[in-house]
Chain A
């Protein structure tokens, strides 16, 4: 997954605003675990991906996120004993003991899964639509000396994607019967993570020898705020306000345990509907997106 400049409002926005806007979308999901709000956030990120012309990239990210989410959804009811409404008694299970599946744990597993999917998709949107070159320059201006931080922040997702594909190819070259497929998948994930760190360290070394983080730092060239900068900044502020006010007022409250308690009044629906609207509004103005 590689950033490519496209003629869309999000790509035309300065990277600092792009980061804040993606962070605001992420914040919505982290602040609230209300299912309707999460669905609203999912609609917002998918809609933004399509409007930014990176739907293909989001689809690829979803191929990784959905199995992970299903795993979370499956594990939560097996691992969590909280909840009053038992929907299945599985009896005595070795290691785990007496196993009762509750409606609450099952529902909350679904919520966690949905949240994981949205977070991964927001990450993918950031990677595909926020210019990593500009992000590097922001880190430099902000005064972070650590090139490793910058390399990790701007390169992690593409490096992980590329290394994962390469490692998977290499494992396909192993002769049949060499190890259990599931064990191999876990080992691949670990190897990808370790390899990505190695690669990030190499990139960080390159940044250092190119003078990144050196003592001399020029003044940043002034760049006037474009209509897209302003629109996405306003959208980020509005998204943050929706999430924070919704959470503080209890309008988007959701408690899974001990019994499901879902705030389903008009306020919750309004917040859920407002999130995609507020997030997607800046995409409506396409003037000057050519760069």
Chain B
């Protein structure tokens, strides 16, 4: 470990108890003071395990077989457990719900300081400073049970940094947040890094969110270190070695034949400008407006008529929603955390009854809620579905596995097969945040399965925060805000006009040509290039 190094891994190999293969293989890595490092890799590549090794949970909490040496802020993890390392490293995991352990925000921020034995005055000061730095001051006395997912994640980050650790470790912290809250969290991390000099190590599937702020990207493949480079060099490497890790902007430029690969929208635009392909006007077109009142359609599969949902003694989650879904239509339902997306899906699926208005259905709605694990209640995959449905869902070879041993993507597929099974195919398929924690390959697989459902005549509606997934799947996007539909139009209309609810390609191209995906954008740019060279 060098003098300026905060985290040092030396030939670390680790296997979880009873695991057939090692989760980390011979990883050697040095992270210096004040660096912001992004961990990249497919699901199961070892990103989370590396972070858990850095905070001491591996091996102290999880057990297993550990070889090599990990030193965090001068403390060897073989001799110091997570409790000791907490003074040096703050940690934030994926699920906000299991990361907030106290009843109020103030108690949550004070908790790590109290655990360190700080005197009451130091605890009070630490709480105030962390709250001010992360914009939590107005939430301090709120019960944590009343906070939204984004707020909870911010509070958990506050607890992780309240003791001013030298190192902050984050495991997919934005995966359950809407684009706005996700960008806010990344902005906060940037501030911590730039103003406090805190070293940040963050694992993330949506690399486009963090690359512009990163000093280095460390890519893992099957538990081994495959690349450790600056963002631009990483993207060069990814273009040939791991295309699934390329960001949309990098794919856009690579497919257009332009170099160098950009780490973000700003660099991509600069490259386009340098080639005379700058988006015209520079500003995005105004977002699509609210829809006119939908008319009854003969082929309507789902029809929400002035649907209200008011919580008992609480607020109205839905306020007069009118929505018609046609057979075979693929719709993305978007909006901030708490906008009413999940409640609308529950009403459409018949799980909740509207308090006013009604929902008409042309048949059964297959509703897949946020946690696919909730659908898997047996000890064998084979017991979850009848044999025929198991075969149709291509799960025969996994019939004897325990559902808990499936990957996130496999669980999602199995749960989708469960809700879609039955004597007659469902008239509509509704999914709530299905891409949480999925890598690009798993998202692609899910999108193609949903397209199959739509091709079979089912209306497909997916509530998602993942703009790129929405663009890849949906032909229509409905944007909810505070329980009302604020935009309803084609994906090209809705996802090119906003600041947050826009794909990276649309932001690079300023919404030109309605291109949402890198492939569409590249086709547009190549067309422009060919027009320029043709006299």
Interface residues of A (CB under 8 A from B): 2-5, 131-133, 136-137, 140, 151, 155, 166-167, 169-178, 184, 187-188, 190-191, 195, 199, 202-218, 221
CA A221 – CA B119 in complex, angstroms? 9
Given known A-B contacts A166-B374, A184-B377, A173 and B102 have beta carbons under 8 A apart: no
- Are A214 and B368 within 8 A (Cβ)? no
CA A199 – CA B99 in complex, angstroms? 10
CA A221 – CA B118 in complex, angstroms? 11
- Are B421 and A178 within 8 A (Cβ)? yes
| Across the A-B interface, the 8 shortest Cβ-Cβ residue pairs | A214-B83, A175-B422, A218-B117, A211-B86, A211-B115, A170-B374, A202-B98, A216-B117
A residues near B386, Cβ cutoff 8 Å: 178
User: Out of A167, A171, A199, A209, which one reaches B82, CB within 8 Å?
Assistant: A209
User: Out of A131, A140, A208, which one reaches B81, CB within 8 Å?
Assistant: A208
Besides A209-B57, A210-B112, A212-B115, 8 new A-B residue pairs in contact (Cβ under 8 A), listed by A number = A5-B103, A178-B418, A203-B101, A205-B82, A208-B57, A209-B86, A214-B81, A218-B117
Given known A-B contacts A137-B114, A169-B351, A217-B117, A206 and B98 have beta carbons under 8 A apart: yes
- Chain B: interface residue total (CB-CB under 8 A): 60
| CB of B152 to closest CB in A, whole Å | 12
| CB of B17 to closest CB in A, whole Å | 13
- Are B103 and A211 within 8 A (Cβ)? no
- Are B422 and A187 within 8 A (Cβ)? no
- Are A210 and B422 within 8 A (Cβ)? no
Q: Is B364 an interface residue (CB 8 A)?
A: yes
Given known A-B contacts A3-B103, A166-B371, A169-B374, A199 and B98 have beta carbons under 8 A apart: yes
- Are B112 and A221 within 8 A (Cβ)? no
CA A195 – CA B145 in complex, angstroms? 20
- Are B117 and A191 within 8 A (Cβ)? no
| CB of A49 to closest CB in B, whole Å | 19
Q: From residue 339 to 378 of chain B, which have CB atoms closer than 8 A to chain A?
A: 349, 351, 364, 366-369, 371, 373-378
| CB of A102 to closest CB in B, whole Å | 37
Q: Is B116 an interface residue (CB 8 A)?
A: yes
CA A137 – CA B115 in complex, angstroms? 9
CB closest residue in chain A, given B368: A173
Interface residues of B (CB under 8 A from A): 55-57, 60-61, 81-87, 89-91, 93, 95, 98-99, 101-104, 107, 111-112, 114-120, 143, 145, 159-160, 163, 349, 351, 364, 366-369, 371, 373-378, 386, 418-423, 426
User: Out of B102, B111, B118, B377, which one reaches A191, CB within 8 Å?
Assistant: B377
- Are A218 and B375 within 8 A (Cβ)? no
| CB of B499 to closest CB in A, whole Å | 33
CA A172 – CA B56 in complex, angstroms? 40
CA A206 – CA B144 in complex, angstroms? 15
- Are B101 and A175 within 8 A (Cβ)? no
- Are B377 and A169 within 8 A (Cβ)? no
Q: Which of B85, B371, B377 has the most CB of A within 10 A?
A: B377
A residues near B101, Cβ cutoff 8 Å: 136, 151, 155, 203, 206-207, 210
User: Out of A137, A170, A184, A214, which one reaches B369, CB within 8 Å?
Assistant: A170
- Are A206 and B99 within 8 A (Cβ)? yes
CA A2 – CA B144 in complex, angstroms? 10
| CB of B85 to closest CB in A, whole Å | 8
B residues near A212, Cβ cutoff 8 Å: 83, 111, 115
- Are B102 and A136 within 8 A (Cβ)? yes
- Are A205 and B93 within 8 A (Cβ)? yes
- Are A2 and B423 within 8 A (Cβ)? no
CA A184 – CA B61 in complex, angstroms? 33
A residues near B419, Cβ cutoff 8 Å: 173-175
CB closest residue in chain B, given A151: B101
A residues near B55, Cβ cutoff 8 Å: 209
| CB of B15 to closest CB in A, whole Å | 18
CA A131 – CA B421 in complex, angstroms? 45
B residues near A213, Cβ cutoff 8 Å: 83, 115
A residues near B60, Cβ cutoff 8 Å: 208
A residues near B107, Cβ cutoff 8 Å: 133
| CB of A79 to closest CB in B, whole Å | 26
| CB of A19 to closest CB in B, whole Å | 16
A residues near B90, Cβ cutoff 8 Å: 209
- Are A188 and B112 within 8 A (Cβ)? no
CB closest residue in chain A, given B111: A210
- Are A173 and B377 within 8 A (Cβ)? no
CB closest residue in chain A, given B422: A175
Give 24 CB contacts A-B under 8 Å.
Answer: A2-B143, A3-B103, A4-B143, A133-B104, A133-B107, A140-B115, A170-B371, A171-B375, A173-B419, A174-B375, A178-B422, A191-B377, A199-B98, A206-B101, A208-B61, A208-B82, A210-B111, A210-B159, A210-B160, A212-B115, A215-B84, A216-B87, A216-B115, A218-B118
